[in-house]
Amino acid sequence: MWQHLLQYEFLQNAYISGILIGLIAPLLGVFIVSKRLALIPDALSHVSLSGVAIATFLMSIGILPLGFNPMLLGIVFSIIGAIILWQLTRQFHNVQEIGIAILMSLSLGLSVIFIALAKGVKLDLTSYLFGSINTISRQDLVLIFILTVATLIFVKFQYRKLFAIVFDEDFIRVRNLRINLVNGTFFVFIGLVVAVSMKIVGVLLVSALMTLPVAIAIRLAKSFRQTIFYAIIAGEIGVISGLVSSYYLNLPSGGTIVVTLVLLLLLVFGYTKISSLLKKA
């Protein structure tokens, strides 16, 4: 496989983009899970799929050129969806799950309609639903690289405010600290990461890449920074192992990545349980 990795561009694109996504998805996932917004990546992945479906329809009627990358419109829709969800979380603290469910249902409905209307343009729906290492283009890789750098810069310089937003947002509002811009930007970055992750893990599994590594890290870490570190390590292990398994078994990359992460979670559960029993003995 390593010989093929050096030879074939699509494998290079897949592994480099997978490593980058394995870094930023768990990084944002720690804040998402801590803020109890684990359903948001699911909702945004459906919104992003509706953008892909509409782009395919627009190509079929000649408004967009046939060579247009549908993921670009998927990114735009995901950003819009992220802003909508940000406003919902601000206005409706107790019923935000309803807003998320409505947005998911609407997006899925739009996807079904526009996929059916797109005549003459083939959309590899399976690769968007479950992920496929064969569909990562050099253009996709460039987008993911730019997003990775932007995400790392954002988290680096806004870490204190993000930490405060996660654990005591009400106190911040009482102190009249300006966090709305940081909070809104955070949601936009979630939307961007979800959109570009579609081809790696797929729409149906993208939220797992943001939550499973965090679940693993929570069992091992003793601080918030440690949680971030362990989550990124778990994400990279899951992505790389999943892509290797996907290559050899000829399976969708999303499924192999998620199964790998679940197996890793079970191993961590077993390890922490045994360690706890040994300490009590």
* Three-class HEC string of the chain: CHHHHHHCHHHHHHHHHHHHHHHHHHHHHHHHHHCCCCCHHHHHHHHHHHHHHHHHHHHHCCCCCCCCCHHHHHHHHHHHHHHHHHHHHHHCCCCHHHHHHHHHHHHHHHHHHHHHHCCCCCCCHHHHHHCCHHHCCHHHHHHHHHHHHHHHHHHHHHHHHHHHHHHHHHHHHHCCCCCHHHHHHHHHHHHHHHHHHHHHHCCCCHHHHHHHHHHHHHHHCCCHHHHHHHHHHHHHHHHHHHHHHHHHHCCCHHHHHHHHHHHHHHHHHHHHHHHHHHHHC
pTM (2 d.p.): 0.90
Predicted pLDDT at 91: 72
Q: Using one digit for the tens of pLDDT, what is the confidence trace for 170-184?
A: 666 666 556 778 889
Range of the domain at 190: 2-280
| Domain count within the chain | 1
Q: Using one digit for the tens of pLDDT, what is the confidence trace for 205-241?
A: 888 999 999 999 999 999 999 999 999 999 999 999 9
- Domain at 239, CATH number: 1.10.3470.10
